[in-house]
Amino acid sequence: MNAKKTIEGVFFLTGKDFANVGVASSELKAILEKMGIDHDIVRRAAIASFEAEMNVIIYTPAGMMRYKITPDHIKVIVEDIGPGIEDIELAMTEGYSTAPDYIREMGFGSGMGLPNIKKNTNELKISSKLGAGTTREFVINIKKE
């Protein structure tokens, strides 16, 4: 791989498209694996991007996941046009979930998605506007500090 190379891309996410759950995060994982990135870094990026993707599919009508891979880090920006998150701190609390019963029956809604994103990334920023949508951006460092 060219050390100076930056790889970018985007996936479009459709709300309630449960048939394609995990497609974006799996594709990102495959790209990282193909680039020969350390297994643990790939695993962390796959977990964080899967949780972000799931939240867009469950809670919003649509969104997109953009990624940028540089020699130093993986940056993922996930934007949606959903209802927004009223209290981000509360939403970040382990076990907090507003998932409806049918989502819980599918095995989601344990309120661990956002805490898992936090745990598996080096930087996480979330901004949200009620009635407009949510943007979350996270970075996973490739080079160990």
Ligand X SMILES: Nc1ncnc2c1ncn2[C@@H]1O[C@H](COP(=O)(O)OP(=O)(O)OP(=O)(O)O)[C@@H](O)[C@H]1O
**Interface positions with ligand X (CB under 6 A):** 51, 55-56, 59-60, 80, 82-83, 85, 91, 96-99, 108-114, 134
Q: Which is nearer to ligand X, 22 or 111 (CB)?
A: 111
Q: Which is nearer to ligand X, 35 or 84 (CB)?
A: 84
The number of residues that bind Mg ion (CB under 5 A) is: 2
Answer yes or no whether residue 113 interacts with Mg ion by CB under 5 A. yes
Assigned token pair, 29:
């994982």
Min dist. Cβ of residue 48 to ligand X (A): 11
Burial of 49-88, coded b for 16+ CB within 10 Å and e otherwise, reads bbbbbbbbbbbbebbebebebbeebbbbbbbbbbbbbeee
Q: Which is nearer to ligand X, 53 or 73 (CB)?
A: 53
Name the binder of 56 from Mg ion, ligand X, none, CB < 5-8 A by kind: ligand X
Answer yes or no whether residue 49 interacts with Mg ion by CB under 5 A. no
Ranges within 54-83 binding Mg ion (CB under 5 A): 55
Gap between the Cα atoms of 82 and 145, Å rounded: 36
